[in-house]
Amino acid sequence: MGSDGRGDRRKTTATSLRVVDAIDELGGGRLTDISDQVGLSTSTVYTHLETLRDVGYVTKVGETYQLGLKLFHLGEAARRRDERYDLAKEHAFELANATGEEVSFAVAENGRSIVLFDEVSNPSVTGFQVGHQFYMHSSASGKAMLAEFSDDRVHEILDRWGLPAQTPNTITSRDELFAELERTRSRGYAVNDQEALEGLRSVALAITGPDGSAFGSLDISGPPYRLPSDEKLVDQLGPVVSDLERELAAGDDATVRDS
């Protein structure tokens, strides 16, 4: 049976995407840096880089390759694909102003937790960044959503991404993670105790859509020494999540009536 070339095309596309990821991970880099990052020859990586430059996904400043601003446009388009995300942004902004801490809204996609909105009322507060993908097992938002998934789906995510250690506090055992998810279900909220980044603690609640599935999650994060108790954070998060879930349900009912 002859090859139709689709395998080669998929391989080429995958390599180009690896190059884009490498530039992102490096924060920009020279040809040799990117080649080392992806483990391919400089001649191969150069071809991909120049192709990506031609279509606007990569730019070059001196000898350093950077991500192109065209990706910003595409990311914004993806973030606008669901108008319900705007509701989450409004609630995150209001909660950040009320608490003075960092409030993030995240969704699950392809087994990763992706922050769509990161609202900070205090300029001195820093943390997760909009658009970044994080392992679900080491973030409060990720664990809040994992607790809403079936065990089979959680295993599929772990099969794909594993349980990499990011700090000494990161959960790296499946048995330990499933025990943590059971605690999350029992108490109704998830905790990240410096598991993704040392010096950062987070508490998150899952946001459930009208169909009962996890729409996303909302978290409050900050340095452990400054954050109030988990119970206090849940008291602040709970009403906001409840309001958002009611608005999601109302929007779903309106869509049904209009159809």
- At residue 57, the pLDDT reads 84
pLDDT of residue 126: 47
- pLDDT for 83: 76
pLDDT at 185 over 90: yes
Q: 138-171: buried (b, 16+ CB within 10 Å) or exposed (e) per residue?
A: bbbbbbbbbbbbeeeebeebbeeeebeebeeebb
pLDDT tens by residue, 74-124 = 666 666 666 778 888 889 989 988 888 889 999 998 898 988 888 876 555
Give the three-class secondary structure for 219: strand
Residue 13's pLDDT is 85
Average pLDDT of the chain is 86
**pLDDT for res 70:** 73
At residue 255, what is the residue type? T
Give the pLDDT of residue 42. 92
**Residue 2 pLDDT:** 44
As a whole number of angstroms, the distance between CA 203 and CA 5 comes to: 48
Question: Tell me, what's the pLDDT at 232?
Answer: 95
Q: What percent of the chain has pLDDT over 70?
A: 85
Mean of the pLDDT values across residues 31-52? Answer: 92
Residue 126: in which H helix or E strand, if any? none
Taking each helix axis as running N to C, give the angle between helix 31-38 and helix 6-26, from 0 to 180 degrees, rounded to the nearest 10: 120
Give residue 75's pLDDT: 64
> Which neighbouring-strand residues pair with 114?
107, 133
pLDDT cut 90: percent of the chain above it: 52
Higher pLDDT, 169 or 114: 169
146-155 pLDDT, tens digit per residue, is 999 999 999 9
The pLDDT score that the predictor gives to residue 127 is 44
**What is the tens place of the pLDDT at every residue in 188-200?**
999 999 999 899 9
Q: Which of 14-18, 160-164, 254-258 has the lowest mean pLDDT?
A: 254-258
pLDDT band at 1 (very low <50, low <70, confident <90, very high): very low
55 pLDDT more than 50 = yes
Burial zone of 199 (CB within 10 Å; 0-12 exposed, 13-18 middle, 19+ buried): exposed
- 103-112, 127-136, 241-250: least confident range: 127-136
Strand partners, 201: 193, 222
Please tell me the pTM assigned to this model. 0.74
